[in-house]
Amino acid sequence: MTETIQRKMKLNSFDKFKAEKDGLAVKTEIEHFAKIGWEAIDKTDRNHRLKWLGVFFRPVTPGKFMLRMRMPNGMLSSQQMRVLAGIVQRYGDDGNADITTRQNLQLRGIAIEDIPDIFNRLEKVGLTSVQSGMDNVRNITGSPVAGIDATELYDTRELIKQVQDMITDNNKGNFEFTNLPRKFNIAIAGCRDNSVHAEINDIAFIPAYKNDKFGFNVLVGGFFSAKRCEAAIPLNAWVEPNQVIALCRAILEVYRDYGLRENRQKSRLMWLIDEWGLTKFRSQVEKQIGLTLETEALKDEILWEKRDHIGIYKQKQPGLNYIGLNIPVGRLYAVDMFDLARLAEVYGNGEIRLTVEQNVIIPNVPDSRLETFRSEPLLKKFSFEPQPLTRAVVSCTGSQFCNFALIETKNRALAIAKELETELSIPKPVRIHWTGCPNSCGQPQVADIGLMGTKVRKNGKMVDGVNLYMGGKVGKDAQLGSCVQKSIPCEDLKPILRSLLIKNFAAQPK
């Protein structure tokens, strides 16, 4: 941020500590932190600045950190998965990995003493966690079947990697973009089914043709927070693929230099757009990029219902298939990770892909290997033909590992889904999303049924509860759902969900 802009603005407490010392500055202190141990680390460094390196202190599991990876477009190799499995294996019962709703992995149970060695191991296989937390651009999402889907319009993989490299200076860490007002999400869609949930990103690129030329319409400002949730709105701009990186840079620079910093609850990009108006914001972006942006294409190419990619599907490469495996609530343990790496090597080309629904895709499986693949023991746990609720349930971390969460989510979400599946015949998947707090990491607003954790009073005692959201729609004409019922005790939730499934989703009692 320029000194002139900073002087004119009152700063919230977070921006004050960032002004004192940039979050990325702790990169040079990791060896020291490892030697002195977690309790001796300066509290602001430990609780906040370490997040610039993707290292999260968790008060609910003191001494055990979470490590959030960057995985552009949800891509990793079997070699990388094996390295990550080896990291979490070290921590026994405490070690596991969660697939997130941004197509990346979060490793749990990590000791600060091991971070220097872990970073060395990650670097050797081309992985990084830099700038994956706090006021940085988070993992950049794209179609999980990029490059293998016969119906795709644009292969997003290389473009997304280039955007990440620009933001992180090729994974070294980039001080240009470490002092944003708040976190920032970018998605680039290359297919017709909005597999990236474009509407909830600060910048989203949507495939669109203009004068028979391929490019992207641009959406801006989508976000979830405890105070407010908004869907992204059109910037009234269309760009060709070779302009995407420059536009991302320009928008980030405008947001960095002019974004609101006095009230942290009003620091996301949409608040700046509200204050300026879209015309002024777009004009400032054009000034920053040094280019007059073309107006948006009259229609985009998001034409389909959203796919979850679970199952066996033909690729555009003759004789090859991709297989989408359901990972219930995205939870993986070391043995699972080693096994997925093995499957990717034995049956495919060593490639593994993650989805925003917290699932895994193994691509490039030859027709001749499909039958053998079907008999793999791991598929009893991670099915390609799951039941309709288990198939579509999504959950945030919950109070087991996150100090923000008000309730436990993952285990509860899976247990209720399985119970309902034994009682009901459900004709098609119903997307039930759980989130432990108003920060909405589990994205209840995009679900068929969304559940947001809260505390409620029942019989004079405070118990775990949820607020119920309905009406979220994904794919074509995506929209955010809204809260329709508050303060439902979790112990009373199952019959309410049962009734909703029968009334709204054509479920029948068995």
Residue 124 binned pLDDT confidence (cut-offs 50, 70, 90)? very high
Q: Phi/psi of residue 435, each to 5°?
A: -135, 140
Catalytic choice (70, 157, 183, 264): 183
- DSSP reduced 3-state for 53: helix
504: domain range? 391-509
Query: What are the residues facing 457 on neighbouring strands?
Result: 462
In a domain, 357, yes or no: no
Of the candidates 259, 289, 319, which is a domain's last residue?
A: 289
> Would you state the torsion angle of the CA atoms of residues 452, 458, 463, 465, taken in this order, to the nearest 10 degrees?
-10
pLDDT tens-digit map of 273-316: 999 999 999 999 999 999 999 999 999 999 998 899 999 999 99
The answer to whether 465 is a known catalytic residue is no
In a domain, 57, yes or no: yes
Q: Count structural domains, the chain.
A: 2
In a domain, 365, yes or no: no
In angstroms, the CA 212 to CA 227 distance is 42
Catalytic choice (133, 147, 436, 481): 436
What's the pLDDT score for residue 6?
47
In a domain, 209, yes or no: yes
Residue 402 predicted with pLDDT over 90: no
What's the pLDDT score for residue 409?
93
The answer to whether 23 is a known catalytic residue is no
The answer to whether 102 is a known catalytic residue is no
In a domain, 269, yes or no: yes
Q: Which residue in 42, 67, 201 sits closest to 130, CA to CA? A: 67
Q: Please check whether residues 142 and 281 belong to one and the same domain.
A: yes
What's the pLDDT score for residue 421?
96
The CATH number of residue 399's host domain is: 3.30.413.10
The answer to whether 441 is a known catalytic residue is yes
Which of 108-112, 440-444, 483-487 is the least confident region?
440-444
In a domain, 263, yes or no: yes
Which of 135-139, 155-159, 382-386, 455-459 is the least confident region?
455-459
Q: Please check whether residues 402 and 269 belong to one and the same domain.
A: no
The predicted model scores a pTM of 0.94
Q: Read off the DSSP letter of residue 253.
A: H
Q: Please check whether residues 404 and 283 belong to one and the same domain.
A: no
Q: Which residue in 383, 389, 367, 372 sits closest to 451, CA to CA? A: 389
Question: Taking CA 164 as the corner, what is the angle to CA 161 and CA 170, rounded to the nearest 5 degrees?
Answer: 95
The answer to whether 412 is a known catalytic residue is no
Of the candidates 289, 307, 335, which is a domain's last residue?
A: 289
Residue 8 predicted with pLDDT over 80: no
What's the pLDDT score for residue 248?
98
In angstroms, how far is the first alpha carbon of the chain from the final one? 61
Mean residue pLDDT across the chain: 95
Tokens (6 digits) for 225:
């927070």
CA torsion sign for 174, 176, 181, 187 is negative
Catalytic choice (442, 453, 465, 472): 442
In a domain, 299, yes or no: no
Catalytic choice (182, 261, 353, 431): 182
In a domain, 339, yes or no: no
Catalytic choice (441, 450, 453, 472): 441
Catalytic choice (51, 68, 264, 391): 68
The answer to whether 442 is a known catalytic residue is yes
What's the pLDDT score for residue 134?
96
Q: Please check whether residues 284 and 398 belong to one and the same domain.
A: no
Residue 1 binned pLDDT confidence (cut-offs 50, 70, 90)? very low
Q: Please check whether residues 21 and 142 belong to one and the same domain.
A: yes
Of the candidates 235, 269, 289, which is a domain's last residue?
A: 289
